[in-house]
Amino acid sequence: MKRIVILTGAGMSVESGLATFRGGNGLWDNLPVEQIATPEGYRANPSLVLDFYNKRRRELLTVEPNDGHRLVASLEEKFSVTVVTQNVDDLHERAGSTHVIHLHGELMKACSSREPQNLDYVFTLPSADTDLKLGDLAADGSQLRPFIVWFGEAVPRMDDAIEALAGVDAFAIIGTSLNVYPAASLLSFVPRSIPVYLIDPNEVTVNSNRSIVAIRKGASEGMRVLIDEYLNKME
Ligand code: APR
């Protein structure tokens, strides 16, 4: 079976109704990133941060995967697929993708604020009550916090993402501005002989001189082109 690795970002979930971060009316265009997406911001005002992620978690329960997520999941019928996502939503999984690596954490999960990456203390919040409040404690007795990788924190799953590239036959990038590292550096680990496809309705500045097939469309339409014009024709 041919192997495909797909790096996705917020643009993947636009058609599901979730906002992106940059480029006009994105989350970071309208909110104080330092206050709500850094460990310093959390320490300074934990209830503001808990509330921000509570709101995003409640919103996530109201949206569905889009055709783009479903087409990515359908690739598993013919290919060995790993999705490396920067997204913290669970829409890839809900669409049926079975091998998803979340580089920036998972919105539906909570963790210890003392040892955020200790998976012994990570668990999925019940959909009946997804809010995290001050006083909700992890098994290590520390305050529960969102299982999100904030700016300045380590990205432990990057190693798994790089390992997933072993023997890759095609690499696709969908719905990311490639602004954030180390996620954006994943491309540099793709052997130069491997075809790279980039699906995005806008121009994306790629920090690489390798040739990339740009599919200037949204995630769903772009996935249809990727499958029909390229992946189904791979020898
Ligand atoms: N289909 C596909 N891509 C789209 C669509 C769409 N319908 N609409 C917009 N896009 C593209 C935009 O053109 C842009 O290139 O999605 C990309 C979104 O870029 P960002 O908002 O920067 O989001 P992302 O690249 O995922 O951000 C990376 O930054 O703040 C951190 O942790 C956060 O994971 C996030 C990381």
pLDDT, tens digit (0-9, with 9 covering 90-100), for 166-208 = 999 999 999 999 999 999 999 999 999 999 999 999 999 999 9
Domain 21-62+107-148 has CATH 3.20.20.140: no
**In terms of pTM, does the model score above 0.75?**
yes
| 30 SS3 class | helix
Q: Is 146 in the pocket of ligand 1 (CB under 6 A)?
A: no
Under a CB-based contact definition with an 8 Å cutoff, are residues 231 and 79 in contact? yes
User: What are the residue ranges spanned by the domains of the chain?
Assistant: 1-18+66-104+155-235, 21-62+107-148
Please list the active-site residues.
Answer: 104
218 lines ligand 1 (CB under 6 A): yes
CATH classification code of 1-18+66-104+155-235: 3.40.50.1220
pLDDT tens digit string along 7-63? 999 999 999 999 999 988 899 988 999 999 999 999 999 999 999 999 999 999 999
Between the CA of 74 and the centroid of ligand 1 the distance, in Å, is 22
Ligand 1 midpoint to CA 223 (Å): 16
Q: Which residues pair with 173 in a beta bridge?
A: 7, 198
CB neighbourhood size of 206 (10 A): 15
Contact 175, 219 (CB under 8 A): yes
Q: Indicate if ligand 1 lies below 6 Å from the C-beta of 69.
A: no
21-62+107-148 matches 1-18+66-104+155-235 in CATH topology: no
Distance 184 CA to ligand 1 centre (A): 12
